[in-house]
Structure formats: C-alpha cells, structure tokens
Structure 1
C-alpha cells in the first residue's frame, strides 16, 4: 500500500531525496522551494479543520435514509402510500446518488471540492427540513431528492478529499470517515423512533430534526470552501493532474462498480425494509429500530478497522468473500426464524454491510494517480448506485403482491452470490492505468 500511495501524486511536498537527486541542481532547488512554499501555505489548523469537516460530513451521508426506514409505516399511513410506492421511495436514494454523483467531478473542477461538499451539506439540511411538511407523495419525493443530491456529490468526493488532504494516510482516514458514516446511520436508526415519541409522536418532527446535524456540518466547510487550491484538480500540497483515464475500458473498474452496486442494493434494502421485516414478524417498533441500529452500528468499529486490514494485504478478495458469507447467513435466518434469532441476524447483516468501507478503500487503491481516483470514484459510485436502483423497488413489489417476506428475502440472498464473485475480482492487486485505460 505504501508503494501505491507514493505513486498517487504527480508532485507533492516532501518528495523523496532519491527522486530529487536525479534532477539538475537548479531543478532540485526549484522543487525544494516549491515544496517548502506549499507546506507553509497550508496552516495546520486548516488540515485539522479538514478532519473535523470530513467526520461531520460523513455523519450526514446516511441519516436521511434509515430515519425514514424507521418511520416508514407511519409515513406510508400519513401520505397514503402503497407498498409499491414505498418501494419506489426506498429506490430514490440510489437513483439520486447515481444521477447527481456523475456531476461531482465537474463541479469539483469548477468550484473546488470543499465548496461542493459545503453546498452538499446545505442541500441536505434544506431537504431534510422541508420534506416532512410538504403535502403529497410527489413533493415528499422531490424534497427527498434535494437532500439526496447533496449526499450524492459528497459521497463521490469523500475519497477525493481523503486522497488530496491526506495522501499518506488513505487507509486510516478512509476508516475514520467510513466509521462516521456507520455511526450516523446507527444513530438515525436507533434514536429516530424514541426521539419522535419524546417530541410528541409526530413523524414529521422526527424526520425534520435530522436537519440540525446537517446545519452543524456546514460550519467547518465554510472556510474550507473559500480555499480554492482544490479547484481544477489540485489540493493543498498535492497535484492531482495526470493522464486521462478511460475508466470504462478497465475490467477492474467495472468489477468495482458492479460490486459497489450490489452491496448498495443490500444496504438500501436493509435500511429501508429491515425494521418492517422485524415488525411483521411480531417485533415491537422500538425494538425493530434498535435492531437496525445494531446492524448499522456494527459498522462503526468494523469500518475503522477493515480499511486498515485491506490496505495491508495484496488481495482483498477473501475479505469480500467473508463479508458475503455473513450476509447469506443473515438472510437465511430472516427466512426461517426472523423473530427468534433477530439479534443474531442483525449482527450478521451488520458485518455484511461492511462491504461499503471495503469498496471505498479499493477505490483509493486501484489507481496510481489522484486524477485516476477522481474518475474512478465518480464512475464506481455513479454506475454502482444506478445498478442498485431496482433492488429496493422490486422488494416492495414482491412484498405487496406475495403478502410475505419469503420471496423478497430469497431475492436478497440471490443477489449476494454475484456480489461474492465481483468482490473477489475487485480485490485483485491491479490498477486501472495498467488495463489499457490511459489515454495517450
């Protein structure tokens, strides 16, 4: 991993002495002056603020979804939704992530990644605040899309932010923000129902309160947004230009995209429907929310540890196989004894959901250059989320027309099989630039 990371920068401060020794004396002096100037131009407080901003942004990348899942029954009743429409609602997140995520690299080049993430946090806050109080399903979907658009562009730029601000700490920083994503998901799943009850029992208030967390996340990104050194593909201390990468010609990029899509399918089905599965099996609503919190919360420690482990091995395929096996076991439990073994199934699905931090780590490892990471992140997440769209919708349709959870759970287990194979392929020690993907 150290070798991979040392190749990710076209030019960076602190260039190894061995590299400088091959330069002419005048060039060595110029490079040293440039590196020193760059290092002095980046105050330490700005880097520390980037850490705070990264964590707060990551905390906001999921609560919009599990908070809705925890109150889906009440929202359906309040808005008069059928099961199929509710399935459509659970498909909106991956649709927005796929559609809006495509724009993230261009927006980043135009305005800088800090400004785009700042705007993304503001969009999340506005969407979450407005959506519970609009009338009708269409308006609810539209305002949800506003929040999800902010999540989408921030999703894509998180690996870019890590690569640009912390190029020598990709594994640990990916683990940190993955852990924050899991923590935000778990908090939303665990406290939405009891918080709603404490605030008077209105599902509208229970959903709207999550806008406060997004408002808090805007604050550290305001000074980071004013720093324009990330515009046009550069960041403090690191140039991320390089040869254009034709991502669509890379088998590894496609394996990553499809792996991402299938793990996202499983994650959004879990966030959208797992509480309902437990409630239909006789589990109380508050307990069902806690079970979802356990599933999501298990990702907090694992999301911090897993990227570190993945960064230290040459082939991450066995990790993907292990996570997939846990998912299959959890689905089998939901099929045969959803209430009796509810806690065990929640734990197994929580382990399986850690395919998300694994694939984020792989995005940072499967390209030599920062420019490649930008394009790979946008391609993998946009294509992956588009792939994941039909899954939650199909689960809702099957649930409504079959009258039970046997067919939906069988579908979930069936989708896990190609996820196992694609995760193994994506885990091979390759980079996209070596697969006929670089434009001359």
Structure 2
C-alpha cells in the first residue's frame, strides 16, 4: 500500500470513527423535545434510549459473517449509508414507531461499523495497530462530544430538534466518500475467530466475568448519555447548558483515553488503575444526589472519568487472551452478550424516573450497579487467559476417549 493510499485509508477510518457515536447519543440532549413532538409515552421513550445497546447486541454479532460473505469494505460502506439514511429519514418522521424503526436502521449501521473498525485497522495497518487504535478511539470520543454539545445549538439555529438530529446524516455522507473507491476491488475478508468457539468462551470463568464487566460498564454509559441531559434540565439547567454538561462529561475521556489504556497494559498492578476509574462513578452519582445543580460540574468530571472504564475493558480483552483467535472470540462474546445486559439499563432507568417522578431512585440504582461491576472488574484484573481456561473447560478428543 502506497503512502498516498495509506493516508486515504487512515482518513476513511478516522471519519468512520467520528460517526460511530452521534447516532446513539444525539437524541439525549433533545429527548424532551422528541417526546413532546412525537407524543411518546414512558415505555417508548425508555425503548428509544435502549436501542443503541440492543443494536450493538443484535447487529454487531453478524458483522464478521457479512464481511466474510460480501467484503469488509462493502459492508462498511453500506453501514455508513444505513446511518445516513436512518438519521435523515427519522428527522422527518411524525410517528413514534416509524421514528424508532428508522433509529434502529441507523443504529444497525453503527453497530456493524463498530465491530468492523478494529479489523480494518488490523487489515490496513498491521504494524501500527497501537498508534491507529489510539487515534480512532480519540475520534470516537470527539464524535461523542460533538454530538452532545452541538445538537441543541443546531436545533435552536432553526428547524428545532429535527434539524439537530438530521444534521448528523450529512456527517455520515461525508464519511462515506473515501470508502467508495475501496469497494471496487473488495475481497471477502475473514475477520472472525477460527479456532475458538463462541460457546466455548461463554463456558470459561474469564469469559463470564468479561461479559458482565463490559455489560455493566456499558449499562451505565448509555444511561448517562441517554438520560443525564434530562436529569440536568430537571435540575434547572437550560437545554443548551444540559447539553454542555453532558459534553463536558464526554470530553473528559478524550485525553484520558489516550493515556489510560496504555498505562493499564504496562502496569504491574492493573487492579489499582481499574479500581480508581470505577470508583469515580459512585462518587459522581453521590454528588448529584446531594446537589444536582450546585455540584453539576464536579459530578460531570467524575462520571466522565469513570466512563474511561470503557476503553479499559477493550484493553482487558487483549490482556486476557494469548492469541488473535482467542482475542477475536473473547471480543465477540464480551460485546454481543455484554450489550444485551446493557440494554436493560436505559429502559429500566427511564421507567423508574417516570414512575418516581424524580432522579433519587435512579441514581441509587446506578450506585448499586457499581458494586457488582467492581467485583467482576477485580476478577478480570487477575492474570488469567481465556485459552488456558478453554483447555480445562473443553477436554481434548483423545482425553475424552481415554476416559471411556
């Protein structure tokens, strides 16, 4: 690959990364306007905030199969088209069911691309995986922050919440442009695990621990990005101010995501690093219980620091496996089943908020979730490897024969 083509691919990957979070989080800052505009009830609103994690669980798991069948670049381009079409069309929808269906279309594209992105980096930059991964994870955080901070100002500039949500379709269209020349000579690329089975990993202790660690962390993250703009608006902030607070929360992770994963991988005591970031969550929630308005900024900084647990979980997938096949299988199990756990969070917290007409009980529930997350996080910090546990969990054929 020439230097020029490498630069084009890198730009394509980074633009793709920018688009992998606005689809999921842009609704949060204008959720109240969407509710009123589409006459949504509590159940439908809760379902809307749960759609991102459900899409990750349902569509992310089929991404390797589609890439093998049709080609990784073609599937990536189609994923961006799904994002663009879904975002643009839902901004025009007048029915809540149609809005949810088009949201799921956009989120399906996001989920496919999210799973394929690490494989694209490995395919095109096999000797620079660390550097390119650091760049794209930073752009993920940038896209997240932009969606949270700009959706409300764009809405106020004209067109209301529909413009604020629909503008992100244009960003997806721009991101699709550099992928167009790559599909002409696309080849099917095997991006899935070869030697380690999905069900085999599920039966290992580290596989189970990683599922719950990833799931509980993602549960909190999507509750925060789906509902906290509403929480701060209920505390007396304007829509723009609430969006900025959630944007501040997301922005904290940009510099920390560049440092923390590498520090965890190098550390002789990863448990200490994990524990520090995980404990920031309950402290931030307690600050909101005490003074949701007066302590809003410290709470945003603390919860944003806690959210850095997400890239740390991704690093742990590599740290808890020895081989590429083991890494791929553990990643597939961790993310697909973990997102099923996470999908319960935004829906349940939304219903609890509507039933109690406040945020006290939802915040206490989030604090309670921190307990099992910390326990499984500590289990994952132990130096064990999924391949070693597979040997014990799945007996070899000759051993099984001898035992008869």
Scaled by the length of structure 2, what TM-score is found?
0.91
**Does 1:262 pair with 2:220?**
no
Residue deviations 1:59-86, cap 9 Å, x none?
1111122210010010000000123321
Following TM superposition, by how much is the alpha carbon of 1:367 offset from its aligned partner in structure 2, in angstroms?
A: 2.8
88-97 or 424-433: which moved more?
424-433
The DSSP-based 3-state class of the residue aligned with 1:232 is coil
Partner residue, 1:60: 19
Q: Using the alignment, how far apart are the partners of 1:263 and 1:45 within structure 2?
A: 39
Task: Pick from 241, 258, 262 the counterpart of residue 308 of structure 1.
Answer: 262
Q: Which runs of 5+ in 1 are unaligned?
A: 1-41, 234-239
Residue deviations 1:351-383, cap 9 Å, x none?
111111111222233333333333222221111
Task: Pick from 347, 354, 358 the counterpart of residue 393 of structure 1.
Answer: 347
User: Is the 8 Å Cα contact of residues 121 and 150 (structure 1) preserved in structure 2?
Assistant: yes
Q: Using the alignment, how far apart are the partners of 1:86 and 1:261 within structure 2?
A: 21
Task: Pick from 76, 79, 100 the counterpart of residue 59 of structure 2.
Answer: 100
The DSSP-based 3-state class of the residue aligned with 2:27 is helix
Q: Using the alignment, how far apart are the partners of 1:251 and 1:148 within structure 2?
A: 31
Task: Pick from 188, 196, 199 the counterpart of residue 244 of structure 1.
Answer: 196
User: Is the 8 Å Cα contact of residues 257 and 381 (structure 1) preserved in structure 2?
Assistant: yes
* Match runs of 1:271-310 below 5 Å: 271-310=225-264
User: Is the 8 Å Cα contact of residues 176 and 303 (structure 1) preserved in structure 2?
Assistant: no
Residue deviations 1:161-216, cap 9 Å, x none?
33333344443333222211111010011111111111x14211111000111111
Following TM superposition, by how much is the alpha carbon of 1:251 offset from its aligned partner in structure 2, in angstroms?
A: 2.0
Partner residue, 2:189: 231
**Does 1:421 pair with 2:375?**
yes
Q: Using the alignment, how far apart are the partners of 1:258 and 1:290 within structure 2?
A: 31
Following TM superposition, by how much is the alpha carbon of 1:341 offset from its aligned partner in structure 2, in angstroms?
A: 0.8
Residue deviations 1:323-370, cap 9 Å, x none?
111111100011111000110001111111111111122223333333
Following TM superposition, by how much is the alpha carbon of 1:244 offset from its aligned partner in structure 2, in angstroms?
A: 3.0
**Does 1:403 pair with 2:357?**
yes
User: Is the 8 Å Cα contact of residues 83 and 399 (structure 1) preserved in structure 2?
Assistant: no
User: Is the 8 Å Cα contact of residues 315 and 428 (structure 1) preserved in structure 2?
Assistant: no
Partner residue, 2:165: 207
Following TM superposition, by how much is the alpha carbon of 1:315 offset from its aligned partner in structure 2, in angstroms?
A: 4.8
Q: Using the alignment, how far apart are the partners of 2:131 and 2:224 within structure 1?
A: 27
Q: What is the number of equivalent residue pairs in this alignment?
A: 392
Moved over 4 A (4+): 437-440
Following TM superposition, by how much is the alpha carbon of 1:269 offset from its aligned partner in structure 2, in angstroms?
A: 0.5
Task: Pick from 71, 85, 91 the counterpart of residue 50 of structure 2.
Answer: 91
Scaled by the length of structure 1, what TM-score is found?
0.84
Q: Which runs of 5+ in 2 are unaligned?
A: 397-404
User: Is the 8 Å Cα contact of residues 193 and 329 (structure 2) preserved in structure 1?
Assistant: no
* Match runs of 1:43-82 below 5 Å: 43-82=2-41
